[in-house]
Structure 1
Amino acid sequence: MLQVRPLLMFGLLVASLAPGLAIAQPLTFENAWSPEAPPVAPVMAGYVRISNDGSEDVSLTGAHCSDFARVEIHDMVERDGMMRMIKQESLTIPAGKQVELKPGSLHMMLMKPRRAIKRGETLEITFETASGESIPVTFEVKPQSARDQQHDNHQHHHH
């Protein structure tokens, strides 16, 4: 019986590590933040730099956050001389490249907040990939003026 126990423990250890090995993925999320909005605002924005250090493209197909009814990725495009926001059904992060969600470009729309959200708080936003993986990323709520300081933040989220 003494011989079986270490073998059983080793088997359990390997089994517990297997899920972590299976979901290792190449995306890195940096400088994830959201500008503070007035308490009555029906939407907030989210910005983040996403790097793909892998050898294959990764497609993000959605996102969610318990603090909002909906989370969408939008792009700003010019049509007939006017800037418009267009919802993106997916966002591909090319292998070996990075995509930045930033003001005036690709960005996240955090819709219908379920509570008042103030600067200094964090938001846990989970991205979904086309392969079915869920990637939680912590976004820091900052003052609106943080837009100008976003490149000074060196916060990294490796997954």
Structure 2
Amino acid sequence: MKKLVLAGAVLGATVVSLLGTPALAHHQGSSHDGHHAMHAGAERAPSTVKGSDKLRVQDCWIRLLPKVAPSGGFFVLHNEDKAEPVVLKGLHTDAFGMTMLHETTEKNGMSAMAMVPDVTIEPGQTLSFKPGSYHAMLEKPEAGLKAGQEITVNFELGTGKKIPVQCVLKSPSARTFSDQ
């Protein structure tokens, strides 16, 4: 049981079998402030670069979890500007009450998750948001969301531009865009 609780604390939303454990209890009826406190020591200053708005988003999907755990958002970002970076400041969707950008890192054999204020995609580069790496966390889902549905997610850039993208909701067992 100790290993399961540790896995839940490290992986959070990716471990569906731990929904009843204390590792995810902070999400039950929690506010955004409580989630910030969980990651407060790991935050970094936001980028002051506005960057380009030449972003293409591909393969957007959300692992839809029950309300007690945050759902994970995954996608591939393509900076189509060869001279300037693109800065992703955040996501917004009416289907969830709160969204955050996170990064999972590994240090000394231990995984850690930290909220990040933005993510920079260098000129001409591609960045994948995937389990175990950069990802979005989406909390407070609207009632009635179901796997298989598509929702609109607005990708907010440093330039102020918002790019609407259709993202498919997938089951808790999904691990890639091609999974059900």
Taking only aligned residues, the RMSD between alpha carbons, in angstroms, comes to 2.2
Q: Give, in whole Å, the separation in 2 of the partners of 1:36 and 1:62.
A: 19
Counterpart contact for 2:53–2:157, Cα < 8 Å: no
Counterpart contact for 2:53–2:159, Cα < 8 Å: no
The amino acid that maps onto 1:43 is P
In the TM superposition, residue 79 of structure 1 has moved relative to its aligned partner by: 4.6
Instruction: Decide which structure has the larger Cα Rg and report it.
Output: 1
Q: Secondary structure at the match of 1:51?
A: strand
Return 5+ residue gaps in structure 2 as ranges: 1-51
The amino acid that maps onto 1:65 is T
Aligned to 1:85: 113
In the TM superposition, residue 138 of structure 1 has moved relative to its aligned partner by: 1.1
Q: Give, in whole Å, the separation in 2 of the partners of 1:104 and 1:98.
A: 17
> Following TM superposition, where does structure 1 have runs of at least 4 consecutive aligned residues deviating by more than 6 angstroms?
none
The amino acid that maps onto 1:63 is L
Aligned to 2:10: none
In the TM superposition, residue 139 of structure 1 has moved relative to its aligned partner by: 0.7
Q: Which of residues 45, 58, 61 in structure 1 aligns to 2:86?
A: 58
- Which structure shows the higher strand fraction? 1
Return 5+ residue gaps in structure 1 as ranges: 1-23, 153-159
TM-score normalised by structure 1 residue count: 0.72
Q: Give, in whole Å, the separation in 2 of the partners of 1:59 and 1:144.
A: 29
- Identical residues among aligned pairs (%): 32
**1:19-78 C-alpha deviation (Å, 9 max, x unpaired):** xxxxx942111110112323x334101100010111210101121111212111100023
> What is the aligned length?
128
Q: Give, in whole Å, the separation in 1 of the partners of 2:116 and 2:144.
A: 27
Aligned to 1:48: 75
